[in-house]
Amino acid sequence: MCMNEKHIFKALQADKTEGFSLLVAEYRDMILNIAYSYTGNKDDSEDLTQEVLIKVYDKLDSFKGLSKLSTWLYKITINTCHDHVRRKKRMKIISYDQNNINLKSDDDFDKTTETRETQKLIIESILKLPLKLRDVIILKELEDKSYKDIAGILKCSIGTVESRLFRARQKLKNILAPEIKKGELL
């Protein structure tokens, strides 16, 4: 556990409410950004972030500090995001098919047109990945986690992480290569 995690864990043991406030301040952005990579819009991501934090608060008593606090939070976040995607798929409100992507990234990243287009393309390409491949790309590229940490969070071997990353990048290559060739994105 890093210093900040230790500090939050101690605060949680001393006073649940106080500790939870520190936890929310430290991790809410992380949870929101992961959720965004599963939903594609900010409103749903904020709802999902609240959902994750409510679960975290409920389960705080069961966290004994045997693993990293962040690992535990990543697990809860990813599981909640998976449930959300499955629920949405069942309801068929949002489809992540190539032809029907429901994004609001225009509102979420309202900078220059060029940046907006690039950001939209990045999130669209991530949303097109199957869940297992999306998990590893999010944890590696957006959260900068090591193979060992990713394997711990996803409860799989380092070899599996490696092969999923390879497959995810192959898929991203197929989606993004035409745009990269145009030279508009980099």
Q: What residue ranges bind another protein (CB under 8 A)?
A: 17, 20-21, 23-25, 28-29, 31-33, 36, 42, 45-46, 49-50, 53-54, 57-58, 108-109, 115, 118-119, 122-123, 125-126, 137, 140-142, 146-147, 162, 165-166, 169, 172-173, 176-177, 180, 185-186
**Shortest reach from residue 92's CB to another protein, in Å:** 26
**Shortest reach from residue 86's CB to another protein, in Å:** 21
What letter represents residue 106's amino acid?
Answer: D
Helix (H, G, I), strand (E, B) or coil at 92: coil
Contact 56, 69 (CB under 8 A): no
The nearer residue to another protein, 2 or 185, going by C-beta atoms, is 185
The nearer residue to another protein, 71 or 119, going by C-beta atoms, is 119
39 Cβ contact partners less than 8 Å away, ≥ 6 residues apart: 45, 48, 81, 84, 85
**Shortest reach from residue 174's CB to another protein, in Å:** 10
DSSP assignment, residue 120?
Answer: H
**Shortest reach from residue 39's CB to another protein, in Å:** 11
The phi, psi pair for 139, rounded to 5°, reads -70, -35
79 Cβ contact partners less than 8 Å away, ≥ 6 residues apart: none
The nearer residue to another protein, 89 or 159, going by C-beta atoms, is 159
